[in-house]
């Protein structure tokens, strides 16, 4: 009756890694992917000139050991994110050009306020055990407060407030009023603190794989071979005493256990028979994703570098919230990426393609000059409307959810196990977290199966 050892659902980094580790250990496995491509919330396209564009997740940073190990295993080198030159910030009606993390030309009051808030966030993060943030001494207190409300009480300077509100809610691609303070602290703590999550150099955007994320997932998929089945959105998972029956668009897979790696709001679209335990099915109603555009603009050369600019800019409220240099390791052609998140991204959704392009390029040109108006190539990806991601970039928990339902994030439900970056204790929300979760789930199914049959 059972044809396979394991069935993995979703071929993002979590699912690919889980299937890889299971296959390597000699188990039979099938990986069902809804889309006609692998990669999940990462998606690399290769251009004729040999360059690549990461339309989704792109970066790695120090401490992300598991994605590092995967890259080493497949012989994929990394290169540093370009950070030379000045960054720019447009906040509270003022323009800042600066080097380093914070524009020191802000008012001393704003700089001091930011410093104090960063110290306070770092201190708060230290009290949060990433394996169980709901057990932090102040977990209940912090989980009943929104990030927006906490900022109200802790940022006395308007630019400091705007900066922290936009930086953090931008990361979760949702309004600051939607985010639990405990969730924000936990996500930062899971990566070592706020300076990692909000930073670039030596932090969350420190480096990129040569060839982009696709270089890694293509290598993994090549090793998996026909384990990976594309265009198979999973509609239902039934479990019984012997195994699971996973039904996709036109396949039926019988296996001992399933690992579901898709984002949590998407996992809720699968019909489970019998129903999942209450805590897990309620979690499925309570972890939304947000809105985000990632737009790559290709130019002959990275002209901003010659102007002494790093390519980094930050402009809350604009059609291009963030920009960052996204050249390949050769530095040519010039690739600049705009990322627009949350409310601004939802507004961009309402524009026609042509009007949106015009708005984004105009915003970028205001910062980098008219050369920005005429890219050779303009590659837009709207994660907001990706049916099988449910939005971008990471799912968050609103207030109350982490303390009420957090333990359900990883707890297996009978023969159904859970992976995906949101199920990772460490590096929650990063590609490294996805890899970790896939490895953890692969070990978990084998261990549970051994227990069940011993």
344 labelled binding-site residue:
no
Round to whole Å and give the CA distance between 428 and 203: 14
Peptide bond into 421 cis (omega under 30): no
In the complex with its own copies, which residue's Cβ is closer, 187 or 310? 187
CB of residue 398 vs its own copies: minimum separation in angstroms? 4
Q: How far is the CB of 396 from its own copies (least distance, A)?
A: 10
Rounded-to-integer distance, Cα 290 and Cα 414, Å: 30
Question: Contact residues for its own copies (CB under 8 A)?
Answer: 140, 143-146, 148-149, 152, 174-179, 265, 268-269, 271, 275, 277-279, 281-282, 285-291, 343, 346, 349, 384-385, 387, 390-391, 398-401, 403-404
C-alpha span between 312 and 321 (Å, rounded): 11
341 is in an annotated binding site: no
- Report the residue number, 233 or 331, with the smaller CB distance to its own copies: 233
Q: Is the peptide bond before 185 cis (omega within 30 degrees of 0)?
A: no
Q: Where are the beta strands (DSSP E) in 265-362?
A: 271-273, 292-299, 309-314, 322-325, 334-341
Least Å from the CB of residue 263 to its own copies: 10
Task: Give me the phi and psi of 313, to 5 degrees please.
Answer: -150, 160
What distance in Å separates the CA atoms of residue 451 and residue 454, rounded to the nearest whole number? 5
- Tell me the three state secondary structure of residue 105: coil
- Least separation, in Å, of the C-beta of 233 and its own copies? 9
363 is in an annotated binding site: no
Which contiguous run of DSSP H or E holds residue 306? helix 303-306
205 is in an annotated binding site: no
Please enumerate in sequence order all residues whose Cβ is within 8 A of that of 317, keeping only pairs 6 or more positions apart, or say none.
Answer: 344
Pick between residue 97 and residue 346 the one whose CB is nearest to its own copies.
346
For residue 115, count other CB atoms closer than 10 A to its CB. Answer: 12
Residue number with CB closer to its own copies (149 or 357): 149
Which is nearer to its own copies, 11 or 292 (by Cβ)? 292
Residue 398: CA count within 13 A, CB half-sphere: 12
Question: From the CB of 140, what's the least distance to its own copies, in Å?
Answer: 7
Looking at beta carbons only, is 156 or 349 nearer to its own copies? 349
User: Smallest gap, in angstroms, from Cβ of residue 202 to its own copies?
Assistant: 32
What whole-number distance in Å separates Cα of residue 272 and Cα of residue 60? 35
Enumerate the known binding-site residues for FAD: 33-34, 234, 422
Enumerate the known binding-site residues: 33-34, 234, 422
């Amino acid at each position: 009756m059972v044809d396979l050892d394991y069935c993995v659902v979703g071929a993002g980094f979590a699912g690919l890694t889980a299937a890889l580790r299971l296959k390597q250990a000699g188990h039979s496995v099938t990986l069902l992917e809804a889309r006609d491509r692998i990669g999940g919330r990462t998606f690399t396209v290769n251009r004729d000139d040999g360059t690549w564009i990461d339309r989704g997740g792109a970066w790695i940073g120090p401490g992300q050991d598991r994605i590092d190990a995967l890259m080493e295993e497949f012989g994929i080198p990394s290169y540093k994110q370009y950070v030379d030159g000045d960054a720019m910030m447009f906040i509270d009606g003022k323009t800042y050009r600066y080097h380093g993390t914070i524009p020191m030309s802000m008012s001393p009051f704003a700089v001091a306020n930011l410093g104090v808030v960063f110290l306070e966030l770092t201190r708060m993060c230290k009290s949060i055990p990433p394996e169980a943030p709901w057990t932090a001494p102040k977990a209940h207190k912090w989980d009943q407060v929104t990030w927006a409300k906490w900022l109200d009480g802790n940022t006395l300077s308007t630019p400091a407030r705007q900066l922290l509100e936009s930086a953090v809610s931008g990361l979760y691609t949702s309004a600051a009023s939607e985010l639990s303070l405990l969730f924000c602290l936990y996500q930062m703590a899971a990566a070592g603190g706020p300076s990692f999550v909000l930073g670039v150099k030596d932090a969350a955007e420190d480096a990129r794989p040569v060839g982009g994320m696709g270089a890694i997932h293509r290598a993994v998929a090549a090793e998996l071979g026909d384990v990976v089945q594309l265009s198979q959105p999973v509609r239902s998972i039934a479990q019984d005493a012997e195994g699971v029956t996973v039904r996709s668009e036109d396949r039926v897979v019988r296996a001992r256990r399933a690992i579901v790696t898709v984002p949590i709001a998407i996992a809720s679209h699968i019909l489970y028979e019998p129903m999942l335990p209450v805590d897990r099915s309620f979690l499925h109603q309570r972890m939304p994703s947000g809105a985000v555009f990632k737009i790559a603009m290709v130019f002959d050369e990275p002209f901003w570098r010659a102007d002494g600019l790093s390519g980094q800019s930050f402009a809350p409220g604009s059609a291009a919230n963030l920009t960052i240099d996204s050249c390949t390791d050769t530095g040519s052609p010039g690739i600049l990426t705009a990322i627009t998140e949350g409310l601004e991204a939802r507004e961009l959704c309402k524009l026609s393609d042509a009007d949106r392009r015009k708005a984004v390029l105009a915003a970028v040109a205001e910062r980098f000059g008219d050369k920005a108006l005429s890219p050779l190539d303009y590659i837009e990806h709207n994660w907001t409307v990706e049916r099988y991601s449910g939005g971008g970039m990471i799912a968050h928990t609103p207030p109350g959810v982490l303390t009420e339902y957090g333990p359900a994030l990883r707890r297996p439900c009978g023969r159904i196990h859970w992976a995906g970056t949101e199920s990772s204790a460490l590096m929650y929300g990063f590609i490294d977290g996805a890899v970790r979760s896939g490895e953890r789930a692969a070990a978990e199914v084998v261990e549970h199966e051994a227990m069940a049959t011993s």
